[in-house]
């Protein structure tokens, strides 16, 4: 006795639906950038008043590139990309703007919070070869 193809239709449709759902879930997981993920917990180590020269926003404003002053007993002055707590909060900053922020660190997660613009007369403790902007460093 031949089996009707309509008998398999509900099973086939369910399999297709499950497959599409799994692919969608997998693609969503692959789309995260390095700045996404949970922010450092509220009990993270906080380095207040980290000062530096803002260079540019990165990853659509979720991160900033900043050349910061040395953080005593933690790290030397360096140019680094730091996730920010409020994406889009960098829109009004120009390259070279002196800023201060609170750096929250827990395990491998870091985040800049409470970003503030410092007076233009601020003298930062950066190496003499600190970049004025990052345009020359872009590939």
pLDDT band at 13 (very low <50, low <70, confident <90, very high): low
pLDDT band at 30 (very low <50, low <70, confident <90, very high): very low
For residue 53, list its beta bridge partners.
67, 98
Of 28-37, 97-106, 114-123, 124-133, give the lowest mean pLDDT range: 28-37
Q: Does residue 135 fall inside a structural domain?
A: no
Q: Does residue 13 fall inside a structural domain?
A: yes
* CATH number of the domain bearing residue 102: 2.40.50.320
The answer on 98 and 63 residing in a single domain is: yes
Q: What is the dihedral of CA 111, 117, 123, 126, to 10 degrees?
A: 20
Q: Does residue 112 fall inside a structural domain?
A: yes
The answer on 72 and 9 residing in a single domain is: no
Q: How far is CA 26 from CA 20, 32, 128, 131, in A?
A: 10, 11, 46, 40
Q: How far apart are CA 83 and CA 120, in angstroms?
A: 24
14-45 burial: b if 16+ Cβ within 10 Å, else e: eeeeeeeeeeeeeeeeeeeeebeeebbeeebe
pLDDT given for residue 135 in this prediction: 42
9 or 118, which is more confident: 118
- Structurally, how many domains does the chain consist of? 2
The answer on 75 and 18 residing in a single domain is: no
The answer on 95 and 53 residing in a single domain is: yes
A 10 A CB-CB count for 104 gives 24
The answer on 50 and 25 residing in a single domain is: no
Q: Does residue 138 fall inside a structural domain?
A: no
The answer on 71 and 10 residing in a single domain is: no
The answer on 112 and 58 residing in a single domain is: yes
Tokens for 50, please give them: 């980290």
The answer on 108 and 77 residing in a single domain is: yes
Q: Does residue 67 fall inside a structural domain?
A: yes
Domain assignment of residue 58, given as a range: 45-130
pLDDT given for residue 56 in this prediction: 96
Q: Does residue 111 fall inside a structural domain?
A: yes
The answer on 72 and 22 residing in a single domain is: no
pLDDT given for residue 125 in this prediction: 93
Query: What's the whole-model pTM score?
Result: 0.65
Chain centroid to Cα 102, Å, comes to 15
The answer on 101 and 58 residing in a single domain is: yes
């Amino acid at each position: 006795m031949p089996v009707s193809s309509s008998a398999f239709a509900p099973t086939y449709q369910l399999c297709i639906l499950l497959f599409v759902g799994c692919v969608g879930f997998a693609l969503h997981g692959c789309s995260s950038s390095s700045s996404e993920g949970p922010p450092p917990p509220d009990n993270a180590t906080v380095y207040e008043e980290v000062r530096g020269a803002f260079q540019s926003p990165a990853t659509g404003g979720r991160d900033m590139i900043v050349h910061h002053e040395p953080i005593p007993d933690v790290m030397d002055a360096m140019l680094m990309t730091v996730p920010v707590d409020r994406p889009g909060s960098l829109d009004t900053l120009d390259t070279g703007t002196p800023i201060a922020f609170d750096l929250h660190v827990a395990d491998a997660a870091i985040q800049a919070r409470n970003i503030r613009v410092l007076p233009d007369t601020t003298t930062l403790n950066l190496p003499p070869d600190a970049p004025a902007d990052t345009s020359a460093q872009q590939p």
